[in-house]
Structure 1
Amino acid sequence: MTRVLVSGGSGFVGRFIVAHLRRHGYDVVIGGRRPPDPGCFSTGLPFVPLFLEPDRDQTAAFEGIDGFVHAAFEHVEGKYRGGEGDDPQGFCRANVDGSIRLFEAARAAGVKRCVFLSSRAVYGSRLAGAVDEVSPPEPDTLYGEIKVAAEERLGALARIDFVTASLRVTGVYGDPGSGRPHKWTALFSDYLDGRPIAPRLGTEVHGDDVGAAVRLMLEADATDVSGTAFNVSDLLLDNRQILSVVQELTGCPHPLPEASPAADYLVMTTDRLRARGWQPGGLARLVETISAMMSGGKTA
């Protein structure tokens, strides 16, 4: 497999996927409503218009494409949960019906593999502990419901010549590129300026590790991944842990926020993905990334 179309390839997560696939020899095509902004990538990439519009026939966009990675998502800017704003019907139409239409178009055009970027939101806000892919989805947001619906329909489309997989991705961190602020810009600024920081706990994975998971889905034996969902997560982090790296790098004297009890959070296990060779960067990659963020440098 050599030529892959990535919908939403110029978005925050999509950019990591594109960069990772290119580094590993893939010919990548960006799909989206508009071409990437100048400077989004180090070199120009092929672009095809692609829309989350269920009434539009977009089969031609998949001509000559071997793999399709669907990372596009239509939402109110800055929000996924609650991304429907005041139009839940339009939100569902675009992200469920529009996604299904793209999956069907890809299969009709002869695309061999399709990878869908899902979310940990499919598990909802159940009790703290650990959850694996065998656990049934229990979404408690419209965002989570949409991801479950798209996963299920994609799985139903799987066949011997159309291999499908869904990746349930947690919070993603890393350099956003093009001079954009990173996800912790405000957090770092508040800490360095001495403003109070509220405790917060969450799971994170580096964007390049998401790209590695996508590549694994494109390259793994079809019988091992098709029609299957995989959790994608790496570190359980609170604001204190993140800012402790900033404190060590800068010598900032301001106190760190209180620690958040790890026992109060639901963690996705990733044994299914790791058993197939996926190895995220862990704490070493976190420290490397924050160091680059603080110095204005870049990481993968």
Structure 2
Amino acid sequence: MRVAVTGGTGLVGRFIVNDLLREGHDVTVMTRRPPLPDFFAKHAAHQFYDLDADVPDLKRLDAIVHAAFDHVPGRYRGGEGDDPEGFLRRNLDGSLRLFDAAAEAGRRVVFISTRAVYGPQNGMLTEDMVCRPDTLYGKAKLQAEKALLASGQQATVLRVTGVYGPPGPGQRHKWADLFDDFAAGKRIAPRVGTEVHGDCLAIAVGRGLDGADGIYNVSDIVLDRRDLLEEWRAVTGIDGRLPDRADASAISRMSTEKLEKTGYWPGGIEWLRSALREIAEQAGILPKGA
């Protein structure tokens, strides 16, 4: 299949591109800047793409995975910074232009959305519940979801939780600052959240490309910072000040039952431990293959 991935050089997009390449797809990365050499597992073509610009011709493609999102570095919620109008113009209007172009070309779309569309909720998050986003990020993603699904084209919406995993060349992984603070003995605030390995997300993208239309939650483990840092200490031997345990009742789990029926499987704690070992190896803390 000929697949384009917008935002393919991002922390999340790289997992998707690498998985598609491993599966033998012809992949085009659509970003403002071309990837660094050896950024992906294999060669991927590059097409200039900017959310603020016109959409390139999509007729040569079979499907588009839309993972591009413009935001303040390191922040999704609050990612608009002091420019909410520009944030919406780029991310919402830009996504709608892409969806319109895909519909005109008759191409399937897999849209990387977010658990933030649900907003504050009690209990298990399921795809059929009423969404009440309380951030501009969640509101923009929800509006884009609705427009895509209302178009009648072949489309998959993946509501994704926090994504973790080893970074690519020139990238810092999502917990880099946290691990640095831990090693420095700094006080760390308690926090708990839901997480999913980037390779699990890539599996979900594959199910979408295979024809699983509609909305699907993509999540895996509920992870407390204290547990994460204990795992990091066990892998690396690095010690620091562990935070207090956060209130786990304050976080709603995401049901992935619907997605699991398509062949998706969560990686669980073993995928987390494997990712931490690889992160430690990349940082030179552990020897390769330790």
Q: 1:22/1:44 Cα in 2 relative to 1: closer, same or farther (>3 Å)?
A: closer
SS at match of 2:273: helix
The 2-side partners of 1:285 and 1:75 are apart by: 28
Question: Which ranges of structure 2 fall in alignment gaps of 5 or more residues?
Answer: none
Contact residue 59 and residue 108 of structure 1 kept, 8 A = no
- What is the aligned partner in structure 1 of residue 151 from structure 2? 157
Structure 2 residue 194 is matched with structure 1 residue 199: no
Question: Which ranges of structure 1 fall in alignment gaps of 5 or more residues?
Answer: none
User: In the TM superposition, what are the counterparts of 1:51-70 in structure 2 within 5 Å?
Assistant: 51-53=50-52, 56=54, 58-60=55-57, 62-70=58-66
**How far does residue 59 in structure 1 lie from its aligned partner after superposition?**
4.9
- What is the aligned partner in structure 2 of residue 74 from structure 1? 70
- What is the aligned partner in structure 1 of residue 252 from structure 2? 266
The 1-side partners of 2:272 and 2:84 are apart by: 36
SS at match of 1:216: helix
1:44-91 CA distance string (max 9 Å, x none): 32111222137x3x352x131001100001222222111112221121
Counterpart residue identity of residue 136, structure 2: L
- What is the aligned partner in structure 2 of residue 84 from structure 1? 80
The 1-side partners of 2:205 and 2:180 are apart by: 33
The 1-side partners of 2:169 and 2:49 are apart by: 22
**How far does residue 253 in structure 1 lie from its aligned partner after superposition?**
5.1
The count of corresponding residues between Structure 1 and Structure 2 is 285
Contact residue 11 and residue 173 of structure 2 kept, 8 A = no
Aligned-residue RMSD, C-alpha = 1.8
The 1-side partners of 2:70 and 2:278 are apart by: 30
The 2-side partners of 1:19 and 1:274 are apart by: 22
The 2-side partners of 1:288 and 1:237 are apart by: 15
1:205-248 CA distance string (max 9 Å, x none): 0011111100001113xxxx32x111111010011111111222
Q: What is the percent sequence identity of the aligned residues?
A: 46
Please, which of 155, 168, 172 is the counterpart of residue 163 of structure 2?
172
**TM-score of the two chains, using structure 2 as the length reference:** 0.92
SS at match of 1:73: coil
Please, which of 126, 150, 159 is the counterpart of residue 121 of structure 2?
126
SS at match of 2:163: strand
**How far does residue 42 in structure 1 lie from its aligned partner after superposition?**
4.0
**How far does residue 37 in structure 1 lie from its aligned partner after superposition?**
2.7
**How far does residue 194 in structure 1 lie from its aligned partner after superposition?**
2.2
**TM-score of the two chains, using structure 1 as the length reference:** 0.89
Q: 1:133/1:185 Cα in 2 relative to 1: closer, same or farther (>3 Å)?
A: same
Counterpart residue identity of residue 242, structure 1: L
The 1-side partners of 2:247 and 2:203 are apart by: 30
